[in-house]
Structure 1
Amino acid sequence: MQEILSTLVSSVFVENMVFAYYLGMCSYLAVSKNVKTALGLGLAVTFFLVFTVPINFLLDNYVLKEGALSWLGEGFANVDLSFISLIIFITVIASFGQLVEMIIEQFMPSLQAALGIFLPLLCINCAILGGVLFMQQKAFANVGVATVYGLGSGIGWLLAIVGLAAIREKLGYSDVPKPLKGLGITFIITGLMGMAFMCFSGLKI
């Protein structure tokens, strides 16, 4: 239980995908103009990570790693398929991309129109692939911890984009200097938010 709680808090605050690793910045900056759209994209990213991280964890540990296929018999004990792990990870992510796009198109057409090209681009969102690769690097004990890591990473990205969107909506009523309007002030705010999240790095988890 302690490992699960530690993984969740760390992935949300300490190892935030946006502020610690700068992953998913293209869609983070482009879709953070209003809270509703940002929330939709953040939920989609969280959905991706919650499902793709544990699926890829199982594939990595029971199919791809050296000796992972030993459950098929002694003849497969030395098989190493790790050289195709990146291709498999991307395939799983792309498959979920199609699934999410079909669901949103069917049930939330207004959100699909708001997200535009960034919805299919979720398939190659570096935050999602980064979450999967970090999962592989961290070598979690079981699929439950890997799932919690995916959930925490998604929530962290969701908090980051919704927080920025809320601030950018308020900026519409602010007297921002003309040279800083648009991406200029957005970069400054993102930097300040990143500095704020650095405070969590002192947490003893």
Structure 2
Amino acid sequence: MEHINIFIKAVFIENMIFAYFLGMCSYLAISKTVKSAVGLGLAVTFVLSISVPVCYLLEKYVLKAGALEWLSTDYKTVDISFLSFIMFIATIASIVQLVEMIVEKYAPALYSSLGIFLPLIAVNCSILGGALFMQEREYASLGEATVFAFGSGVGWFLAIVALSAIREKLRYSNVPGPLRGLGITFILTGLMAIAFMSFMGISL
């Protein structure tokens, strides 16, 4: 039950986009078409689902105070948590590089449509945010950290796909001139964030 609670919270209540506004750059830039939004959303979900559990293992067995005790009792007082940022960023960058190579090889059309934003997943703040939230919330197990990561990715995926679907329909709408482009997109994002806030009333 705890895993279900973590997943629902990550998708709806603590959505990376609508609750914390993390990853807004690629969210706004790639949400012009559903096809590219789906591709980037899946890539972000994959990177989150892999990088956060890896960062959890690094935190538990390498970085935090006493984590190195499994090597020797001489290291039970060692605390290298100050390296968390560097280690997390290096982990995320490595996984993003792997995703980039896979997409380029098996989906070159999607690779072209995503352009510079695919390698920029490495600096997507929703990915690093997921790792830092995991560290702050001190999840009890690798399973909980993985469920949180996957739920955060699914929430980000739903947000960008929903916005891209609306933006495709807006092409046939008579949007006032000053609001065309990012103007109406920011308004839509705000309205969607308000809608997602309704889930905050759910007690889990």
User: Match for residue 49 of structure 2?
Assistant: 50
Say yes or no: does 1:82 pair with 2:81: yes
Deviation per residue, 1:105-149 (Å, 9 max, x gap): 000000010000001100000000000000000000000000000
Say yes or no: does 1:8 pair with 2:7: yes
Say yes or no: does 1:59 pair with 2:53: no
37-46 or 70-79, larger mean C-alpha shift: 70-79
User: Match for residue 103 of structure 2?
Assistant: 104
CA distance, structure 1, for counterparts of residue 84 and residue 168 of structure 2: 41
Identity of aligned residues (%): 61
The equivalences for 1:71-150 within 5 A come to 71-150=70-149
10-19 or 71-80, larger mean C-alpha shift: 71-80
User: Match for residue 175 of structure 1?
Assistant: 174
Deviation per residue, 1:124-179 (Å, 9 max, x gap): 00000000000000000000000000000000000000000000000011111111
Unaligned stretches of 5+ in structure 1?
none
CA distance, structure 2, for counterparts of residue 123 and residue 73 of structure 1: 34
CA distance, structure 2, for counterparts of residue 59 and residue 103 of structure 1: 25
Normalised to the residue count of structure 1, the TM-score between the two structures is: 0.99
User: Which amino acid letter does the alignment assign opposite residue 167 of structure 1?
Assistant: I
Segments ≥4 residues shifted beyond 3 Å:
none
Shift of 1:102: 0.2
CA distance, structure 2, for counterparts of residue 119 and residue 137 of structure 1: 27
User: Which amino acid letter does the alignment assign opposite residue 99 of structure 2?
Assistant: V
CA distance, structure 2, for counterparts of residue 74 and residue 57 of structure 1: 22
Shift of 1:97: 1.1
Normalised to the residue count of structure 2, the TM-score between the two structures is: 0.99
CA distance, structure 1, for counterparts of residue 115 and residue 70 of structure 2: 44
Deviation per residue, 1:11-40 (Å, 9 max, x gap): 000000000000000000000001010000
Matched position secondary structure for 2:17: coil
User: Match for residue 26 of structure 2?
Assistant: 27
User: Match for residue 17 of structure 1?
Assistant: 16
Say yes or no: does 1:186 pair with 2:185: yes
